[in-house]
Structure 1
């Protein structure tokens, strides 16, 4: 049996403003923990990833298609998973760089990036908080027992902010369709509705 430190991490591509990443966040964290895998957070810019994959950018999709994907289906999943969702948060659209850089900073500091990322997504989709604002990010850090100043100082560094583009470039190179996407070994799984296949793959590889 492989030791946890010998196992390849699960690559977790997601947008910090993705409702479907929010719906799957707690479950992918649980799967990683139960399988003894590290969850490697790779926040991405969907405005680059989606068209690079060949999909229609969100703003160019028909109103009926957007309503089905982001109202009807989100409501169904919210009810099924018993996870509260605000369908149209006021703060849905906004800066992606700083909150993504905060997640990368927490990860670089070897702190609780799983908990912080879940808090970030929950703040937007359950509580409609402005996750692009430093005060909100500081509050979320404190809730996760992370020093807000340490996190924000690192998040503002060129090193970390460049990582956000590097994650996006890596996603494009690997053919990531959107958010969330999970990669286990050579297997890519797109969507929180594919987490049962992620679990199966992890079970096949590690026997957990």
Structure 2
């Protein structure tokens, strides 16, 4: 039996970017491919009554400062020196996430994700601007205009809504969220637990 590992992601979350950067290390060590599932974080927040940390913790003395410290520690530990907080934050990611579904349908979600993560959290681009979106993907060798047009198709919109609804039904309330089979883990800080759970499943299959 093969272990299933899913990664609920949205480009709008800096912690999702940081987790994304570490995932290849886990895949290499375990030999297990992690499946990226595009979901709309705003939809998850609306369905669960959650908010982004910048809003939820804004009135808690010291909490945002500690979050920034924790991010700095994570960056230092994993040598993620290309990370930059997007100067346009928060960016509306509806176009980006629909584009991710379109890219998945086309069979090139992996390349799409690399470009989108880099654009959002290394190059600080305003990726909710259709022209910036199309130009960014064109420059990366993908068909930005096709992705832009495809993002308006009903099947793409429906898949994103379905992914988001399913994530909420499974217990997700934010991103990054991971599922190892049906076991849920939230946050980049749980990546060690994700890897442990994967290894536990692998041992049980032997």
Q: Deviation of residue 52 (structure 1)?
A: 4.3
Q: Partners of 2:18 and 2:51 in 1: how far apart?
A: 22
- TM-score w.r.t. the length of structure 2 is 0.81
1:70-101 alpha-carbon deviations (Å, 9 max, x no partner): x22222222222213324x2221232110001
Q: CA RMSD in A?
A: 2.7
- Paired with 1:155 and 1:11, the residues of 2 have a C-alpha distance of 23
CA contact (8 A) 2:138 2:144 kept: yes
Conserved? CA contact 2:5–2:179, under 8 Å: yes
| Gap runs ≥5 in structure 2 | none
Which among 177, 185, 194 is matched to residue 173 of structure 2?
A: 177
Q: Per-residue CA shift, 1:115-167, capped at 9, x if unaligned?
A: 32132122122211111123333344345543223322322212112222222
Question: Aligned partners of 2:28, 2:138: CA distance in 1, in Å?
Answer: 23
- Pick from 46, 66, 69 the counterpart of residue 64 of structure 2: 66
- Looking at structure 2, the residues matched to 107 and 133 of structure 1 have their Cα atoms a distance apart, in angstroms, of 21
Give the corresponding residue for 2:120.
124
Pick the aligned partner of 1:75 from 72, 77, 84.
Answer: 72
Cα distance in 1 for residues equivalent to 2:57 and 2:112:
31
Correspondence 1:186 to 2:178: no
Structure 1 stretches lacking a partner, 5+ long: none
Matched residue SS, 2:87: coil
Alignment partner, residue 107 of structure 1: 104
Closer/same/farther in 2, CA of residues 48 and 154 from structure 1, 3 Å limit: closer
How far is the alpha carbon of 1:9 from its aligned partner?
4.1
- SS of the aligned residue for 1:176 comes to coil
Residue in 2 aligned with 1:202?
Answer: 198
User: For this pair of structures, how many residues does the alignment match?
Assistant: 200
Q: 1:32 to 1:103 in 2, by over 3 A?
A: farther
Deviation string, structure 1 residues 7-65 (Cα, Å, up to 9, x no partner): 45422112211010111113224434665545433233333424644645542433443
